[in-house]
Amino acid sequence: MGFPEEAIPAQVAKNLVVECGIPPRTAWRLASELSLDVAAHQYNAVTGDPRAGMRGTRIWEYEQWPERGVRPTVAALRVLARVYGTSWKCLLGLRDLEQLPAKDLAEYHAEPDTPVAVAAPEPEAAPSARTPVRAEGRAEEEIGAGALDDAILLTKTNVDDVQLDDLWADLDFLGGAYTRTAPDSILGQLAVIADRTAALLKGRQRPKQTQDLLLVGAKSSAMMAWIAGDLGRYRRSRELNSAAWLYTQYADDRLARRWVRTSQARVAFWAGNGIESAKLAADGLSYHVGGRLTDAPLILAEARGWSSVRAEGQVLDAIARWTAIEDPGLGAGGEDSFFNITKDRRHYMAGNSLLSVGQASAALREFTTAREAFEQLSLENRWEAMDPMIRIDTGRAHLRLDDLEGAAAQVGPLLDAGVGKQPDMVRAMLKLMATELSGPRWRSVRTARNLSEALLDAHASARP
C-alpha cells in the first residue's frame, strides 16, 4: 500500500487495536513480530544488563493489566517502547489510563506524543584506572583532582527502578496467590526473589536503592517463614524470620518490623510457644505505621498467644481492643494483603482465642461470622485451610456446650469429603478435637468414639 518499511509496525499495531480489539501492549509486540521471551531478552539488552530479570511471563502480565496481571511502571513502559520502536504513551489504552496512579497520569499528559526509535544500548565506558600517589609527592594542582571521579563512582549502580518495581510486584502477586496456590510452589518462587535480592545487595547501589532491597529481603524472608510454618518446618521458619529481622534492622523501617513480628508471632504460636507469640505480637504493635498494616492481625495474634496458657484476662483485653478497631470492610487486596488477613480469618482467630479460655458461646458467634465472611469471598481470595479450621473449632465449641450432635454436624461434611493436603495447623486442630472427644466427658459415648477415630484418620491423611 505504499507505506515505508519503518512505518509498517505502527500501522499493524493500529489495525490490531482498532479492528481486532487487541490491547495496545500486545498489539505492538505482535506488530514487532516478537515472542514474549524474545521481547524480554531485548528488554534486558536495552537496559544494558542481560541479567536484569525481565521475563516473558512478566511481559504477559503487563499485557493482561488492568483486567488482571500486573500494572507496568512508566519506567518499564519506556523500555518496552524502545524495544517496539514507539513511544510509551502508545502502549496505553483508555482502560489503562482509567487505572493509572495520578502521578503516572500526569506524566502521560505532560509528555508530547513523539514516537521513539529503537535504540541499541550503548556500552558503558570502563572507569579509568588511577594509581594512588602519596599526597606529599603531588603538585598543588593535582591535590583533589580525582575527587569528582571518585564521587561519580557513587552514581554507578547494579540495580534500577524497573528491577525494584519487578521485585515488589512479584512479592505482591505471590502474596495474593498464596490463598489459591500450593504452599511449596509459592515458597520456591519467594526463594528466587530472596536469592536475587541477596545477589543484588552484593553490588553497588545508591542508598535509597539499598534500603529498598533490604525491605524486599525482609518481606520475602518473613513470607517464606510464614509459609514454612504452615508446612510444619518450624526450624526453617525461625531461621528465615531471623534473617528477615536482620534485614529490618539495617533498613530501619517500622513497617518491615511489623511484617516480621507478625510472622514471628504466628510461627511461635503454631510451634507451641504461646507466651513468646504474645510478646512478639505486642512488640510489633509498638511500631506505628499509620494504616498500611493494621493493628488487627497483631492484636489477634497477641490474644491467641495468651489463650494457649489460658490467660483469660489478657485474652479478653486483647479481644476488646480488637473489637474497638475492627473494620468489617477491610477485605483482601492491597500491597500488604499477605499480612492484612481477611475478615473470615480475623473472626476465626478471635473465636479460637475465646474458645481456649472457656468462652464457648462467644466463640460460636465469632465462628458464625467467620463462616459468613468466608462464603462471601471470591474463590480466588479464599484460603483453603480456613473452611476445615472453622468447621473443626465450631465443632469443638459445640462440644463445650454439651452438643455432640452439633459437633458431628460441623465436621461430618469435612470428613466425608476428605481432608486432603492441608497446612500443619489443620492437622493439629484435627488431633486436638479427637483428643477432646476421648476425654472423660465423651469416652463412653459410641458416637464420640467413632468421631474421634475418624478425626485421627483424617489427621494421618492430611499431610501438608
Q: What is the pLDDT of residues 234-243, one digit of tens each?
A: 999 999 999 9
- Statement: residue 69 has pLDDT above 80: no
**Is the model more confident about 10 or about 398?**
398
Q: Are residues 330 and 192 in the same domain?
A: yes
Backbone angles phi, psi at 187, to 5 degrees: -60, -45
CB 424 within 8 A of CB 446: no
pLDDT in tens, 165-219: 889 989 988 888 888 788 888 999 999 999 999 999 988 888 888 999 999 999 9
- Statement: residue 132 has pLDDT above 70: no
- pLDDT the model gives residue 64: 87
Q: Are residues 363 and 234 in the same domain?
A: yes
Q: Averaged over 283-288, what is the pLDDT?
A: 92
- pLDDT the model gives residue 248: 94
Whether 188 maps to a domain, the answer reads: yes
Whether 26 maps to a domain, the answer reads: yes
- pLDDT the model gives residue 370: 94
- pLDDT the model gives residue 188: 92
Whether 138 maps to a domain, the answer reads: no
* Angle between helices 207-230 and 254-270 in degrees, nearest 10: 10
Q: Are residues 236 and 312 in the same domain?
A: yes
Q: Are residues 305 and 198 in the same domain?
A: yes
Q: Are residues 187 and 300 in the same domain?
A: yes
Q: Are residues 281 and 376 in the same domain?
A: yes
Whether 150 maps to a domain, the answer reads: no
- pLDDT the model gives residue 133: 40
Amino acid at position 401, single letter: L
CA 399-401-405 angle, 5° bins? 55
- Statement: residue 32 has pLDDT above 70: yes
The CA distances from residue 63 to 29, 78, 101, 354, 366, in Å, are 10, 14, 17, 47, 42
Collapsing DSSP to helix, strand or coil, 34 comes out as coil
Residue 140 burial class via C-beta count within 10 angstroms: exposed 0-12, middle 13-18, buried 19 and up: exposed
Q: Are residues 174 and 91 in the same domain?
A: no
Question: Which residue range is the domain that position 79 belongs to?
Answer: 5-110
Whether 121 maps to a domain, the answer reads: no
- Give the CATH number for residue 354: 1.25.40.10
Q: Share the mean pLDDT of the chain.
A: 84
Instruction: Name the most confidently modeled range: 29-38, 127-136, 162-171, 311-320.
Output: 311-320
Amino acid at position 380, single letter: E
C-alpha cell at 418: 476428605
CB 186 within 8 A of CB 178: yes
CA pair distance 341, 339, nearest whole angstrom: 6
- pLDDT the model gives residue 335: 53
pLDDT in tens, 289-305: 776 668 899 999 999 99
Structure-derived torsion over alpha carbons of residues 334, 338, 342, 347, reported in degrees to the nearest 10 = -150
- Statement: residue 147 has pLDDT above 70: no
Residue the block writes with cell 532491597: 213
- pLDDT the model gives residue 124: 41
Q: Are residues 166 and 101 in the same domain?
A: no
- pLDDT the model gives residue 426: 87
Length of the chain: 464
| 234 Cβ contact partners less than 8 Å away, ≥ 6 residues apart | 228, 267, 270, 271
- Statement: residue 283 has pLDDT above 80: yes
- pLDDT the model gives residue 144: 59
What are the residue ranges of helices labelled H in 252-359? 254-270, 274-285, 296-307, 312-325, 343-356
C-alpha cell at 306: 495468651
Peptide bond into 9 cis (omega under 30): no
pTM: 0.66
- Statement: residue 379 has pLDDT above 90: no
- Statement: residue 141 has pLDDT above 60: no
**Is the model more confident about 415 or about 320?**
320
Whether 378 maps to a domain, the answer reads: yes
Give one DSSP letter per residue of 299-310, joined into a string.
HHHHHHHHHTTT
Whether 180 maps to a domain, the answer reads: yes
Whether 353 maps to a domain, the answer reads: yes
Q: Averaged over 419-444, what is the pLDDT?
A: 86
- Statement: residue 456 has pLDDT above 80: yes
Q: Of 43, 75, 110, which one is at a domain's C-terminal end?
A: 110
CA pair distance 324, 198, nearest whole angstrom: 41
Nearest to residue 90, comparing CAs of 115, 60, 55? 115
Q: Averaged over 94-121, what is the pLDDT?
A: 72
- pLDDT the model gives residue 153: 58
- Statement: residue 118 has pLDDT above 60: no
- pLDDT the model gives residue 191: 94
- pLDDT the model gives residue 117: 41
CA dihedral sign, ordered 273, 276, 282, 285 = negative
CA 377-379-381 angle, 5° bins? 60
Number of domains forming the structure of the chain:
2
Q: Of 383, 398, 422, which one is at a domain's C-terminal end?
A: 383
- pLDDT the model gives residue 75: 87
CA dihedral sign, ordered 301, 303, 308, 314 = positive
- pLDDT the model gives residue 123: 39
Q: Of 85, 110, 135, which one is at a domain's C-terminal end?
A: 110
Q: Are residues 70 and 211 in the same domain?
A: no
Q: Are residues 44 and 179 in the same domain?
A: no
CA pair distance 264, 143, nearest whole angstrom: 53
Write 109-118 long-range contacts (CB < 8 A, 24+): 113/87, 113/89, 114/87, 115/10, 115/85, 115/86, 115/87, 115/90, 116/81, 116/82, 116/85, 116/86, 116/87, 116/88, 117/85, 118/82, 118/83, 118/84, 118/85
Q: Averaged over 242-267, what is the pLDDT?
A: 93
Q: Averaged over 41-68, what is the pLDDT?
A: 80
- pLDDT the model gives residue 212: 93
Q: Are residues 321 and 242 in the same domain?
A: yes
- Statement: residue 348 has pLDDT above 50: yes
